[in-house]
Amino acid sequence: MTHGSALSGVRVIELGSLIAGPFAGRLLADFGADVIKVEDPQRPDPLREWGQARLAGHTLWWSVQSRSKRLVTLDLRSDRGRELLLRMIANTDVLIENFRPGTLEKWGLGPSELWAVNPGLVITRVSGYGQTGSHSHKPGYASVAEAFGGIRHLNGTPGEPPPRLGLSLGDTLAAMFAVQGILTALYWRDARDGRLGQVIDVSLVESCFAMLESVVPEYAATGHVRQPSGTGLRGLSPSNLFRTGDGGWVIIAANQDSVFVRLTRAMGSPELAEDPRFVGHAERGEHQQELEAMVAAWAETLTTHQLLDILARASVPGGPVYTIADIFADPYFRERGQLVTVSDPGLGEIVMPGVVPRLSATPGAVGRPGPLMPGHDNDDVYADVAGLSEEEILGLATDGVI
């Protein structure tokens, strides 16, 4: 039994462009928040042109990133534009912005001005290095944050240049931390009836840095600098990528004691579990190369399908390295609602990723795709949220304010 949308009644104004801030807005919209995305009428969000494939002349990332949002245009550099934003802020719960620090203050839209209109506003500020510190003035992109924050160094093969993931991981991590902060701040505000907002300061660098697990205390205590480890993790064995006889790649993760015992039985070599070199986690880590060579030799005697079947029957975690084509071919992703077909009036039917996580009582939902036309919802939003008349809206449009 469902009970509506979890974030129904929460209004969000999304400023900024590209990835981190707008992705946070999308995550909130997936769970029913009324997200109003603001674009400059002369300089729309560049994400409209980002992506590696086009349909009917349009890239498809925009359709996903701006789904379920209401889109307006507004010139925040103009006095009338700022006045209109403040008018909407009075009826808003959350503001998300990802400008370079100081931009809102330069426009007279800093926290003090926003809270003068709405003291309960949660102000979420996403930037490369955060709002304070010696690097705060610098522009920051995901690739730079991943390198500066320490995770790029750990990626790749020892002795080789550290590669990047083919996605903007730093932006995605920052967006998720931003949503965590927003929900925490809303709870603090509303559970205590304080009606007080606060600033959420999200740094792309810190979002990457937060992923470093034990790397930080290891260095502080012992001076150990963790290095990239290729396709596995040093000291965790067997847990790696293995080639099959028909040229496939399969991850086998059997480093836990009980799982390793099951793997040795599946390999037809149960004696390995009693071998002093492999009897425990530490011992397997010390003899990692030797052990994983044995697993690799076994995997090469099997096809990908055979290996995966054996692992599944033995309850050993393992899985293939999928391309997006493989994902579409596996019914699992549609069974879990992760490939959702929606209709777009300009593009026809398109498929986009589903909502994560799954909530039993108030599940999220994929709404309409991001509208292709900037300002698609100007009339609706400015009448609904700002209380403007048709004549006032027309006048603002004629003057280039919206």
Please identify every residue annotated as catalytic. 171
How many CA atoms does the CB half-sphere of 335 hold within 13 Å?
5
Fill in the DSSP letter of residue 49.
G
CA 337, 240, 253, 316 torsion-angle sign: positive
Ramachandran angles phi, psi of 192, nearest 5°: -105, 5
Determine what percent of the chain falls in helix, strand and coil, rounding each to the nearest 5.
40, 15, 45
For tokens 């799954």, the residue is: 358
- Which residues, at least 6 apart from 126, have a Cβ–Cβ distance to it below 8 Å? 16, 20, 21, 24, 96, 97, 98, 174, 175, 178, 202, 204
* Strand spans (E) along 183-286: 199-203, 239-243, 249-253
The Cα 351–Cα 203 span in angstroms is 31
Angle between helices 169-191 and 20-30 (to 10 degrees): 50
CA dihedral 367, 371, 376, 378 (to 10 degrees): 50
Which class for 6: exposed (0-12), middle (13-18), buried (19 or more C-beta within 10 A)?
middle
The DSSP line for 167-187 is S-HHHHHHHHHHHHHHHHHHH
CB of 60 within 8 A of CB of 51? yes
